[in-house]
Chain A
Amino acid sequence: MTESHKSTIPASMKTAVIIPALNESGTVARVVSEAIEVIGHHVFVVDDASSDDTAATARAAGATVLCMPYGSGAWNSIQAGIMFCMQRGYQRFVTMDADGQHMAQSIRVISDCAEATRANVVLGSYPERGSRGRRLVWRMFNRISGLGLRDMTTGLKCYDRDAAGYLLSSETALLDYQDVGTLLVLRRRGMSIREVPVVMCMREDGCSRVFSSWLAVFEYMLKSMLWILSDKIMSGTDNDHSWETYHDV
């Protein structure tokens, strides 16, 4: 069964686009069909137990849809999508948001950059989008974590198979956001991280899930600080993981 799926993917284009979606029925169809125009039928929407018809809309637009059994958060949805695409033999995994702020052309930009630079992780960055407060937080996290990225909270990322393998481990299952924590895990594994500038649209509806309220911001800051601190303690003490087993569960 896996073999038959592998054969349907052109050898030159082993890129999967993974879109986590939570109640995005208004925008997901357009995001999916634009992505399909760029990349073909390698678009995977992970529906995070939405209460609207996000899953059906995405399926109708031509995406393969994974449904989380309960609301698990964007990061866990992305992990599910990456696992599914790993099983199907994809080589490169592009994540993007379902709210329409990332443009489909960016998939090309980001995977071309990954191809050209051979970086394990490529971030599509658009630092201009953040508010002043948010940019201050980014700078602070950059400073203490030593990541040195301009836009680390972007949802537009490209992982190669090595990086994705490290993202499917029991330690990353407890992360909640796909930024500081995951990037630190990848850096600890010796993955190279690069940024490429892209253009993003302003959000069409709703607001950021991570920064939805002051309490959410506080929770985000606390968790990120803890991940940075534990990274400083842990670095160099880890063993290798293999994603097939997802072991040490």
Chain B
Amino acid sequence: MTYRTTALIIAVCFVAVIIALVRRQRLNVLYTYWWTFSAAAILALGIFPQMLDHVGRFLGISYPPILAIVVGLCMLFVKVLTMDIERTRQEKQIRILAQRMAAYEARLDAMARE
């Protein structure tokens, strides 16, 4: 098996999983865009690996495959960071919701007693 077929198989599997998840509405709209874009990039690189060589040469990188790894890592970094930001926002919401719920429950309780 060549490097090219391995890349192609990985890319196709990845794309298939993402399309399946999107179709089943398991991914939020914005995440759908992110992952569809990633899937398209992976597929394109899987089919035309020589693209990387051209871009790498243009950017002056002597070993082009490292370019894919660096770009991939950067994208993952952005993804994880945005996930943490989102998680913090949700944590805040959940905490405030819990407090409101406790207060409303106590109010209902007091009303029921009157």
Chain A residues close to B by CB (< 8 Å): 1, 4-5, 44, 46, 64-70, 72, 76-77, 79-80, 83-84, 87, 170, 173-174, 246, 249
Interface size of B as a range: 20 to 34
Chain A residues with CB under 8 A of B114: 4
Chain B residues close to A by CB (< 8 Å): 88-89, 91-93, 95-96, 98-103, 105-107, 109-111, 114
Knowing A170-B92, A174-B88 are in contact, say whether A68-B102 is a contact too (CB < 8 A). Answer: yes
Q: How many A-B residue pairs have CB under 8 A?
A: 62
Q: Is the beta-carbon distance between B91 and A87 smaller than 8 angstroms?
A: no
Knowing A64-B106, A64-B110, A66-B106 are in contact, say whether A80-B99 is a contact too (CB < 8 A). Answer: yes
Knowing A174-B88, A249-B92 are in contact, say whether A65-B106 is a contact too (CB < 8 A). Answer: yes
Main SS at interface, chain B: helix
Knowing A1-B111, A64-B110, A84-B107 are in contact, say whether A173-B102 is a contact too (CB < 8 A). Answer: no
CA distance A69 to B99 in the complex (A): 8
Q: Is the beta-carbon distance between A68 and B96 smaller than 8 angstroms?
A: no
CA distance A5 to B102 in the complex (A): 18
Knowing A173-B92, A249-B93 are in contact, say whether A46-B98 is a contact too (CB < 8 A). Answer: no
CA distance A46 to B103 in the complex (A): 9
Knowing A173-B96, A249-B96 are in contact, say whether A69-B101 is a contact too (CB < 8 A). Answer: yes
Of the candidates A44, A70, A87, A174, the one whose C-beta lies within 8 Å of that of B98 is A70
Instruction: Name the 10 nearest CB pairs between A and B, nearest first.
Output: A80-B99, A84-B103, A80-B102, A66-B106, A66-B102, A173-B95, A68-B102, A173-B92, A83-B103, A69-B98
